[in-house]
Amino acid sequence: MGLADYIWLGILSVFQGPEMFSVFGLPVSVTLVMILAGFLLGIAVGATPGLAGPIAMAISLPILISAFGYTPEALLPVMGFLIGVMKGATVGGAVPAILFNTPGTPDAFMTTLDGYPMTRNGQAKKALRVAHFSSASGDTFSDIVLIICAPFLALLVEDYLDLPEKTALLILSLSFIAAVIGGSPAKGLISVGLGLLAVFIGTGEDFYPRLSLGTASLSDGFPIAAAILGILIVSAVFKELEGLWQEKRRSGKIEPIADRGDQRLHVKEIRRFFPYIARSAVIGTAIGALPGIGSSLAATLGYTVGRGRYEKRRVEGAPEFGSGAPEGVAATEAANSSVSGANLIPVLSLGIPGNAAAVFLILAAESIGGFNPGPSVFRFTTDAVNPELVVAFGLFTSMFIANALNWTIGGVFMRSMGVMVRIPKQLLLPVVLLLTLTAIYVQEARMVAIWFTLGFGVLGYLMRSVGISPLPFVIAFILGGKLEDSARQAFAATGGDPFFLFTHPIALVFMLLSVGVIVFSTRKPRDLG
C-alpha cells in the first residue's frame, strides 16, 4: 500500500467510523461528534480562569474510556475528543484575557497586555476577532508542519537509531525537559527523579515486586491515571484553594464598557497583521517541536519579536505595544496556538510527550491499546495494512476537522463563553476535584486508587509550593517504562556491554548533549551593566 492509500484509509476511519446518528439519511460517525463536543468543551474551559485544556482532558479521559471501552474502535473517538479540547482551550483562553484582564490559560497572559486595553477603549469585539483569526491561522500552519515533519522524523529515527541510540535519546529528552521547564535545572532533575522513582515501584522483571515494601497495594505499581491526575490536577486544585484561603474575597462589579468605532476585521487590517502572524506561527511551531518547552515561551517570544517590528514601523498616533495595539494580540495568539500541532511532532515520531495535553493523548493510547506512538507508527507495509499508520492519518484528519470548526464556529462560540469567567473559583474548584476523583474511581473501581490520587496531589502541592514544576515528573513517569525496556533490550543486544551508551557514536553524542544541556542551563548570564 502506498501513501495515498493510507491517507484515504485514515480519512475514512474518521468519516465512516461507528455511526452515532444520521441526518437526512446520511450517517454521522461518532468520531465527528466527539471532535465537535471536545472543541466546544475546550473553548468553555479555556474561557474559565482556573481551568485549562489538560484539566478537561484529565477528567474526560477515564469517563470516555468507560463509555467506549478498550476496543480499537474506541481509539479515534476518544483521541478526537481530546484533540478538540486541546484546540478549543487554546483559542478560548483569549476570551477572559481580553475581556477581563484574566488569562484563561497561562499562555494567554501576554494577550492581556494589548487585549484588555483594547476592551477599555471600546474595541473588545475587534480584539476577539483579531485573536480568533490569528489563533486559527497559527494552528493551521502548525498542523501542516506536523503532517510533513512527523513521518519524516520517524522514518529517520527508524533508519539510523538502534536500541542504544534510542535509550540515549530518551535520556536526552528527560535532561532537556528537566533543564527547560523545571524552574531550574536542579528542581527539574528532582522532579524527573521523583517521576522515575514512582514509575519503578512495583515494576520490573523480578519474581518479587520492586520497591513495594511488601504491601499488596504497591505490588502492581501506581495506576498511571492516578499518578498523572493527582500530580497535575489535584495539586493545582489544592494550590488554588490555598490562594483563595489567603486572599480576601474581592468585591465589586466589572462596569460595562460601550463599544466604540468599527468592530469588524477588514482585509486591509488582515494584510497589516499578516507579517506578525507569520513570524509568530514559525516561532511557535519551532518551539512546539521541542519537547517540554510549551506555549508560554512561544507567546513571549512571538510578542517580543512582534514588538520590535511594530516599534520600527509605528505611525504617529497609533497605540504602543502594551497599550491596545491589535498587532500585539495577533502576534501572541498566533504564537501560542501554533504550538498545539507542533507539540505532537515528538509524540507521534518519538513517543515523547512535550506538554500536558500530549501527555493525555499518550495516556489514551496506552489505556485503550492498538496504537503505540513512536517510529514504528510510520512504517509503510506492502503485504498488510499497518493499523497504527491508519490511526495516525485519522488523527491528522481529526486535527484538520477541529481546525475547520475553529474557522467556522470557533469565533462565535468563544465570544459567547465570556459568561464563564463569572463563576466563583471557590465554587468551581471543589467541583473539579470531585469530578477528578470520580473519574479515577470509574476507571480503577478501587478505593486505593483514590488514595493514590490524593497522595500524588499532596506531593504535587508540595512541589508547587517550593517552585518545582510537576510536568517533568509526569513526563518521566510516562517515559520511565520505555527507558527501562529500551535499556534492557540494548544491554541484551550488545552482548551484556554495560557501556553500550558510550561505545556507539550517536548514543555517545546524545549523552554528551544531555550533560551539556544541564551544564549550559545552569550558567547565569553575565551582567554587562
Could you tell me the pLDDT band of residue 477, with boundaries at 50, 70 and 90?
A: confident
Give dist(CA 14, CA 315) in Å, integer: 49
- The percent of residues above 70 in pLDDT, for the chain, comes to 82
Identity of the amino acid at 496: G
Distance from chain centroid for Cα 119:
29
Domains of the chain by residue range: 3-246+262-522
Least confident range of 76-90, 150-164, 191-205, 245-259: 245-259
Convert the pLDDT of each residue in 55-111 to its tens digit.
788 778 888 888 888 787 888 898 889 889 888 887 887 777 787 666 555 566 678
- Contact between residue 343 and residue 205 where contact means Cβ atoms under 8 Å apart: no
3-state secondary structure at position 468: coil
459 confidence band (pLDDT: 50, 70, 90): very high
- Predicted confidence at residue 105, as pLDDT, reads 58
pLDDT of residue 528: 36
Confidence label for 250 from pLDDT (cuts 50, 70 and 90): low
Say if residue 33's pLDDT is above 80.
yes
pLDDT at 206: 59
Roughly what angle, to the nearest 10 degrees, separates helices 326-342 and 75-92? Answer: 160
**Each residue's pLDDT tens digit, 252-278:** 444 444 445 555 666 777 788 888 888
pLDDT at 257: 46
Indicate whether 208 pLDDT > 90.
no
Calpha distance 31→77 (Å, rounded) = 4
| Tens-digit pLDDT profile for residues 36-46 | 999 988 888 87
Contact 463, 469 (CB under 8 A): yes
Does the pLDDT value for residue 493 go beyond 90? no
* Cα 365 versus chain centre, distance: 15
pLDDT digits (tens, 9 = 90+) for 113-133: 788 888 778 777 788 888 888
pLDDT band at residue 204 under the 50/70/90 scheme: low
For residue range 394-407, what is the model confidence (pLDDT) as tens digits?
Answer: 888 998 899 899 88
Tens of pLDDT, residue by residue over 357-407, are: 777 777 788 778 778 777 777 777 666 777 888 888 888 899 889 989 988
**Amino acid in position 250:** R
Tell me if 361 sits within 8 A of 82, measured CB to CB: yes
Higher per-residue confidence, 134 vs 257: 134
- Quick check: 289 pLDDT over 80? no
| pLDDT beyond 70 at 22 | yes
Whether pLDDT at 424 is above 90: no
- The whole-model pTM stands at 0.71
CB–CB of 62/440 below 8 Å?
A: yes
Write down the pLDDT at residue 252: 44
Q: What is the pLDDT of residue 37?
A: 92
Q: Which three cell numbers stand for residue 219?
A: 505490588
Cα distance between residue 255 and residue 463, in whole Å:
38
- Count CA within 13 A, CB hemisphere, residue 15: 12
DSSP string, 45-102: HHTSTT--HHHHHHHHHHHHHHHH-SSGGGHHHHHHHHHHHHHHHHHHTHHHHHHHS-
Question: How confident is the model at residue 264, as a pLDDT?
Answer: 66
pLDDT of residue 254: 40
Burial letters 183-207, b for 16+ CB under 10 A, else e: bebebbbbbbebbbebbbbbbeeee
Mean pLDDT on 342-352 = 76
Better pLDDT: 314 or 142: 142
pLDDT at 344 over 50: yes
Task: Look at residue 471 in the predicted model and tell me its pLDDT.
Answer: 76
